[in-house]
Amino acid sequence: MTDALEGGCACGRLRYRLASKPMFVHCCHCRDCQRQTGSAFVINALIETDRVEILSGETEAVQVPTDSGRPHVICRCAACHVAAWSHYGGVQRLSFVRVGALDEPSALPPDVHIYTRSKLPWVALPADVPAVEAYYDSKTLWPAESLARRKEIFG
């Protein structure tokens, strides 16, 4: 399983491995994510930063403006600048890893679709995956094991 959870940038210098499965996977349809990716949504795997092992290369942290004003730092390959993961709200211990940059993006399907209020109209969502207009309370959707891991980060 963990073999599937390696990823990298476009130039190949930055390579990383997720040491375990993430806590939860978001498919985010917000305007920030659409703007930053140039696409309809982003897929983020939420995982402890110390479980993101850099195998080679370096990242460069880029602070980006957001609609909410909440801090958002994107860690990009220092050479080709492809986005690898993000930290939101100044929480360095939590990483939002871009699932599309993993070697096997199909390994981590979304656990929830968020900010569907700005979802592009031609994107059809699966009926069996929770979807919310904006954000949600993790206690309502996350499995107990993931909530316990989240508690380690936020106390």
Site residues, Zn ion (CB under 5 A): 9, 11, 13-14, 28, 30, 33, 77, 79-80
- Is the distance from CB of 80 to CB of 60 less than 8 angstroms? no
Three-point CA angle 28, 33, 34, nearest 5°: 105
Cα distance between residue 16 and residue 57, in whole Å: 9
Q: How far is CA 77 from the centre of its chain?
A: 16
Residue closer to Zn ion by CB (options 9, 43) is 9
Q: Smallest distance from the beta carbon of 30 to Zn ion, in angstroms?
A: 3
Buried b (16+ CB within 10 A) or exposed e, 11-21: eeebbbbbeeb
Q: Smallest distance from the beta carbon of 28 to Zn ion, in angstroms?
A: 3
Q: Smallest distance from the beta carbon of 103 to Zn ion, in angstroms?
A: 14
Residue closer to Zn ion by CB (options 19, 134) is 134
Q: Smallest distance from the beta carbon of 54 to Zn ion, in angstroms?
A: 12
Spatial CA neighbour of 143 closest among 44, 25, 50, 52: 25
Residue closer to Zn ion by CB (options 54, 80) is 80
Residue closer to Zn ion by CB (options 64, 80) is 80
